[in-house]
């Protein structure tokens, strides 16, 4: 005698709860964008600012360092204005990934020099 596999009905998320989640994620993304922008602009931002600045400069170069912050700001704004309905979220996400990787490839093939002083050694103390 074979048993039928149990299927649990998927919970439907309340639209208001989903909207609140998107708003919270949008605010967090905008905050991260502003924090990374401040770490790029100001020099006295501490260890966190130094790590963010050097990582962004290593990945995107000095000319394209503002691009990730701009993508995060636009993405956060998009999430704040998010409403349930037909959306281009997958397409928007795809364009962001395409933009990110195109900048990475441009930076890698531009002949820019990667500095070895970016890596932090655990033996420093």
- Residue 33 lies in domain: 17-112
Domain assignment of residue 10, yes or no: no
Q: Is residue 80 part of a domain?
A: yes
> Total domain count for the chain?
1
Instruction: Write down the pLDDT at residue 125.
Output: 46
For residue 118, is it within any domain? no
| Helix, strand, coil percentages in the chain from 3-state DSSP, rounded to 5 | 65, 0, 35
Identify whether 3 is part of a domain.
no
46 dihedral zone (left: phi>0; alpha: psi -120 to 50; beta): left
Q: Is the pLDDT of residue 10 over 70?
A: no
Nearest to 78 by CA among 88, 69, 68, 86: 88
Does residue 29 sit within a domain?
yes
Total-model pTM: 0.59
Q: Is residue 40 part of a domain?
A: yes
Average pLDDT on 83-102 reads 72
């Amino acid at each position: 005698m074979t048993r039928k596999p149990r299927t649990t009905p998927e919970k439907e998320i309340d639209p208001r709860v989903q909207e609140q989640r998107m708003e919270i994620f949008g605010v967090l993304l905008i905050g991260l964008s502003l924090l990374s922008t401040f770490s790029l602009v100001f020099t006295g931002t501490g260890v966190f600012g130094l790590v963010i600045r050097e990582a962004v400069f290593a990945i995107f170069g000095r000319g394209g360092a503002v691009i990730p912050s701009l993508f995060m700001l636009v993405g956060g704004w998009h999430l704040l204005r998010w409403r349930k309905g037909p959306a281009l979220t997958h397409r928007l996400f795809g364009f962001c990934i395409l933009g990110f990787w195109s900048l990475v490839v441009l930076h890698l093939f531009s002949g820019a020099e990667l500095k070895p002083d970016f890596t932090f050694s655990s033996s420093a103390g």
